[in-house]
Amino acid sequence: MKTLRVLAVDDHKLMLEAIKAALDEAKDVEVVGVAYSGSEALTMIPRTNPDVVLLDMRMPLMDGLTALGLIRKRHPKVKVVILSAIDEPDQIQAALRQGASSFVVKHIDPRDLASAIRQAASGAVFQMLGAAETSEEAVAKETGITDSELRVLKALAQGMSNKQIAKELFITEQTVKFHLTNIYRKLDVSNRTEAARYAYQHGLAANPFYELA
């Protein structure tokens, strides 16, 4: 089994020590370096050659989102896992748009951290770990999604085409397109993939590609 090389980036030394301790038990994951800022991480990537960068969101000088964008641009083969103390929807969406593979909340069970890194390295679809579950009712209230739109979103998240959704829900394809337009606007996404990711990360639909360990 290939050993996954990880570069951990956080401006708090205690957090970096906690990360190393959490990954110490994983025989297939090795912390090859630590950095205290996004700019330092960018200089270390060529030297440490990581498979995954574990990146804090809020750091001085260069924040995590800025560093994420630069890492994905300069080192497209390197996967990035965002590690944050806050799971605000706008932060998650921003990380998605910048190309993060995972969004991990810092109060995650430390035993699950290695699993998140493995998922990111394998190229699995975006996942979010460590956040409290959000009910469909709360998400619908927050976004303004109607029951009809939610049914379309669930079907879309399962990989159905517009034609299949129309047949499944007994509506016309034009109605499906109308609902999708509203869904994209309300969720602040621009396409089917982003809408599906939103559904997965907020517990509105089961991810058809994998199950979390």
- What pLDDT does 137 receive? 66
Under 8 Å between Cβ of 61 and 91? no
Q: What is the pLDDT along the chain (213 residues), one digit of tens a residue?
A: 689 999 999 999 999 999 999 899 888 999 999 999 999 999 999 999 999 999 998 888 888 889 999 999 999 999 999 988 876 777 787 888 888 888 888 777 787 788 888 878 887 545 555 554 445 667 777 888 887 888 899 899 888 999 999 888 878 899 899 999 999 999 999 999 999 988 888 877 766 544 333
Helix axes 173-187, 147-157, angle to 10 degrees: 90
Mark out the alpha helices in 52-172 (DSSP H runs): 64-74, 89-98, 113-121, 136-143, 147-157, 162-169
Under 8 Å between Cβ of 41 and 15? no
Query: Helix or strand or coil: residue 75?
Result: coil
Query: Helix or strand or coil: residue 67?
Result: helix
- What pLDDT does 108 receive? 76
From the CB of residue 205, how many other CB atoms can be counted at a distance below 10 Å?
Answer: 20
- What pLDDT does 212 receive? 34
- What pLDDT does 11 receive? 92
- What pLDDT does 131 receive? 52
- Domains of the chain plus CATH, in order, are 4-129 (3.40.50.2300), 136-201 (1.10.10.10)
Claim: this prediction has a pTM higher than 0.75 = no
- What pLDDT does 97 receive? 81
- What pLDDT does 211 receive? 38
**Strand 29-35 versus strand 79-84 pairing type:** unpaired
